[in-house]
Amino acid sequence: MDWGNNWLAPINARLHERHRYLETEELAALNAACQGALRLGHETVHRQFREGAKPVSLTSFSAVVRETYPWVSQENLSRLLNQSLYYAAKTGGYAREA
C-alpha cells in the first residue's frame, strides 16, 4: 500500500528488517498474502462498480476483503479502498462522485 519508493515493491526485505526471526518462505508467503489482498481490493471495486454500486461503500468493500483476509486493519481497508478507487478511475472503470 506504500506510495513513493516502495510502490508495488515486495515487502519481504522491509518485513525482515522488523521481524528478523521470519524465514524466507514465511516472508514470501506474507508478501503473497498482501499482494492477494491488494488484488482482491482492486477486483472488488471493479465488480461492485459493474454491479451498479455508486459510490462503492467502505462497509460492503470491507466485508468482501475481510472474508478472505480477516487480518486487514480498518485503516488499511480504507487505504485499500481509496487506492482501488483511484486505479479504477485511472482505467475508466469508476467515476468518483464529489
DSSP string, the chain: ---GGGTT--SHHHHHHH-TT--HHHHHHHHHHHHHHHHHHHHHHHHHHHTT-SSPPHHHHHHHHHHH-TT--HHHHHHHHHHHHHHHHHTTS-----
pLDDT score of 96: 47
| Dist. CA 72–CA 74, nearest whole Å | 7
Could you state, in order of their start, the residue ranges of all structural domains in the chain?
9-90
Higher model confidence: residue 37 or residue 22? 37
Mean pLDDT, rounded, for 39-59: 86
pTM metric for this prediction: 0.79
